[in-house]
Amino acid sequence: MKKQLYILQDILGTNRKIAQEIKAACEEKGVLVVNLMSSPGAGKTTLLEKLAERLKNRYKIAVIEGDIETERDAERIRAKGVPAWQITTGGACHLEAKMIARVLPSVEADIDFLFIENVGNLVCPASYELGERVRVVLLSSPEGDDKPKKYPKAFTTADVLVLSKADLLPLLPFDIDRAKKEALDLNPSLRIFVVSALTGEGLDSFIEFLVAAHAALRPADA
Amino acid sequence: MKKQLYILQDILGTNRKIAQEIKAACEEKGVLVVNLMSSPGAGKTTLLEKLAERLKNRYKIAVIEGDIETERDAERIRAKGVPAWQITTGGACHLEAKMIARVLPSVEADIDFLFIENVGNLVCPASYELGERVRVVLLSSPEGDDKPKKYPKAFTTADVLVLSKADLLPLLPFDIDRAKKEALDLNPSLRIFVVSALTGEGLDSFIEFLVAAHAALRPADA
């Protein structure tokens, strides 16, 4: 067991080093890197489609999609007129910084936002920094309000919680106050947005937050 | 990388060996072991609550719950009058056979069904046999009909697909024929049940299947 543990620490240490290089290089260029994590089907790609629609006329954005198999999510983003790169991990349950580092040279340098959609998994991606300035975890209403404490690391390491599929809330036994409280108990500095990508509820506030985070990257230019 | 790969193979080989021992020991005693896998919030625990209600008067059943943190799921099962053991993995994204082997001596030997609820994760649990005779993957309607090919291993290795939260189908853009086709393309022998634990739809057929699988364990006694 000890041998495995050392190797894991080594992988995480190497990953963090590459992530920090990505972060520094992107922020120096004024690129806000956003890492989106969630269970499969919590609505990451649909949220990105909506962000693409609303941001693309004012900002240059790009998307990196992580999936175990298929190019489907990148195709959905490209259909919105936004460049997207698909990483297929071929079985691996999370993205790693080195995968991002391999794609980055293909991404134009003068973008404002780089969104990275992680593999759908509420557990493993939380252990791997990808160079993001903003880490977002999505929890969709059909998943249930009891998930933060059952899957704590995604919530303790995130900067933002998006409670997604808010349009389904009236139909489901989801106590939004309980979900918020559990998440804030784990991470009191979490920013929480209640969002429905379908109806548009909450999107404006989330976009305002992202735009402000982008602007804060280079206060000297303001 | 090669070193990591060998160690991973070693872990999986050791896991399989323990799983096979569990499988042989349980089946010899007429215990049907069922491993339930899915994303977080697809409805594994709610399905188990319903199975407990319906099976407990005719059969002796027991449940092992796997979670990263909290005893919540085991408490929900115990509230149905069924014995349940909680394994908290403390971060690990899946159950392993050795964790089951540690709990098994506490479980009564004369049970008919042992249900194991895996950690909510559509990726990692698929690589670890736990000694199950029947491997069930749940896909809930809010997750989307495109998931089988994006997360193939859970579907290629399962015996049964439960399409859960069927009561929400009329409200969601979920094409059930597409989901079934994708799953059957990956695994033509998959048995598929469309189930709503809330309304009871499809539960009878699924229970019939489980009862027949249990009966088939010891045809000599029939």
Average pLDDT over residues B69-91: 97
Question: Which residue of A88, A119, A121, A145 to mutate against B (max B Cβ within 10 Å)?
Answer: A121
pLDDT for A159-211, tens place per residue? 999 999 999 999 999 999 999 999 999 999 999 999 999 999 999 999 999 99
Residue B150's contacts (CB-CB under 8 Å, 6 or more residues apart) are A40, A67, A68, A69, A70, A72, A120
Enter the ipTM: 0.90
- Which CATH superfamily, name and number, covers A2-221? P-loop containing nucleotide triphosphate hydrolases (3.40.50.300)
Percent above pLDDT 70 for chain B? 95
pTM > 0.90: yes or no: yes
Residues of B in contact with A2 (CB under 8 A): none
- Name the B residues in 110-169 with CB < 8 Å from any A CB: 119-124, 140, 142-144, 146-147, 149-153, 165, 168
Identify the band that residue A3 occupies on the pLDDT scale cut at 50, 70 and 90: low
Identify the band that residue A102 occupies on the pLDDT scale cut at 50, 70 and 90: very high
Residues of B in contact with A143 (CB under 8 A): 39-41, 142
Average per-residue pLDDT for chain B: 95
Q: What distance, in Å, lies between the first and last C-alpha atoms of chain B? A: 52
DSSP letter string over A103-159?
HGGGS-TT-SEEEEE--S-SSGGGG---S-SEEEEEEEGGG-TTHHHHSHHHHHS-S
Q: What tokens appear for B7 in the block?
A: 């160690």
Cα–Cα distances (Å) from A191 to A180, A197, B107, in that order, read: 10, 18, 44
Question: How many whole angstroms from its chain centre is CA A152?
Answer: 16
Percent above pLDDT 90 for chain A? 91
Identify the band that residue B60 occupies on the pLDDT scale cut at 50, 70 and 90: very high
On the question of pLDDT at B222 being above 80, the answer is no
On the question of pLDDT at B219 being above 60, the answer is no
Question: How many whole angstroms from its chain centre is CA B29?
Answer: 20
d(CA B174, CA B128): 29
On the question of pLDDT at B138 being above 60, the answer is yes
Contact status, residue B164 vs residue B140, Cβ threshold 8 Å: yes
Bridge partners, A164 (sequence order): A140
